[in-house]
Amino acid sequence: MKPSHPWARAACALVASLVAAGSWAGGAATASAQVPDPANPSSCYAAKDTRTSHARPFQPCGVLVISKWHRVTRGYVPHVVDPAAIPGHHKMTAETGKALAALFAAAERAGYRLVVRSAYRSWREQGLLPKVATTAPQGASEHQSGTSIDLALQVGYRQVRGAAFGRHPAGRWVREDAWRYGFILRYPQGRQGSTGIPYEPWHLRYVGPGHSVAFKGRPSLTLEQYLGLGGAHRALSTTSNRDTGRLRLGNGLLALA
Ligand SMILES: [Zn+2]
């Protein structure tokens, strides 16, 4: 069926061109993956979380979603690797590492040396984070999936982190270009009502190019909006956000979402 919504058409067209060019690696969004289509009631848009076991994540349209509304248990342990192309011995899924290496290379060409501050965090590691009011609880962080990356900019011996990263041209480059490599800015500015998390200009999420293309030119689009999860989140967003947020560590802000 031909998708009727612009972002659904864009995703299909991109996947088709990647497959034709022989450069499609498959993965989180495969060539046959559904794309959410708000105009098509039979699409995967606005899927319900009907899991009976939370040892596996909620995956509407094949896109993993972990939040305080869609949690996982300690039994969810993805396969992660330490990609040789990514400095610093950070673990992430192999597919995320491959895409991140491409993003880092492109950033380098644009004049920005990006580094990873935090990637995969196990259930146990999330629990070891300092217990402050803003720490995401175990099972509510997408870092447990191995597809979330916290970035900083390396400038000589110094790092530009946190909110300063968002104000830097490198932060703008990430907002505008990350979709090309299958990433999205997971917690855009002013979208806490949708995501439940304040603005995190440093936090990227790998969703695959078949989905990230919908975010081209739309850095404020949230994953919840894209997947049609907004209704539930709007209803829930008036509840306290005390279990999510950030913590000051070292000379910058580290996302704990
Ligand atoms: Zn993060």
Domain membership of residue 9 (yes or no) is: no
Domain membership of residue 204 (yes or no) is: yes
Domain membership of residue 226 (yes or no) is: yes
Domain containing residue 214: 58-255
Number of domains in the chain: 1
- For residue 147, how far is its CA from the centre of ligand 1 (angstroms)? 10
Average confidence score pLDDT of the chain: 84
Domain membership of residue 10 (yes or no) is: no
CATH number, domain of 236, equals 3.30.1380.10
- For residue 45, how far is its CA from the centre of ligand 1 (angstroms)? 25
pLDDT of the residue at 129: 84
Share of the chain above pLDDT 90, in %: 68
Tens digit of each residue's pLDDT (9 = 90 or more) over 95-132: 999 999 999 999 999 999 999 999 999 999 999 988 76
Tens digit of each residue's pLDDT (9 = 90 or more) over 52-89: 999 999 999 999 999 989 999 999 999 999 999 999 99
> Exposure pattern of 236-253 as b/e (b: 16+ CB <10 Å)?
ebeeebebbbbeeeeebb
List the catalytic residues.
200
pLDDT of the residue at 41: 83
Cα–Cα dist 140/246, whole Å: 14
Which one has a higher pLDDT value, 3 or 121? 121
Domain membership of residue 15 (yes or no) is: no
pLDDT of the residue at 53: 94
pLDDT of the residue at 134: 57
pLDDT of the residue at 257: 66
Domain membership of residue 8 (yes or no) is: no
Q: Is the pLDDT of residue 9 over 60?
A: yes
Domain membership of residue 27 (yes or no) is: no
- For residue 21, how far is its CA from the centre of ligand 1 (angstroms)? 33
Q: Is the pLDDT of residue 247 over 70?
A: no
- For residue 16, how far is its CA from the centre of ligand 1 (angstroms)? 31
Tens digit of each residue's pLDDT (9 = 90 or more) over 180-191: 999 999 999 999
- For residue 255, how far is its CA from the centre of ligand 1 (angstroms)? 5
Domain membership of residue 30 (yes or no) is: no
Tens digit of each residue's pLDDT (9 = 90 or more) over 147-182: 999 999 999 999 999 999 999 999 999 999 999 999
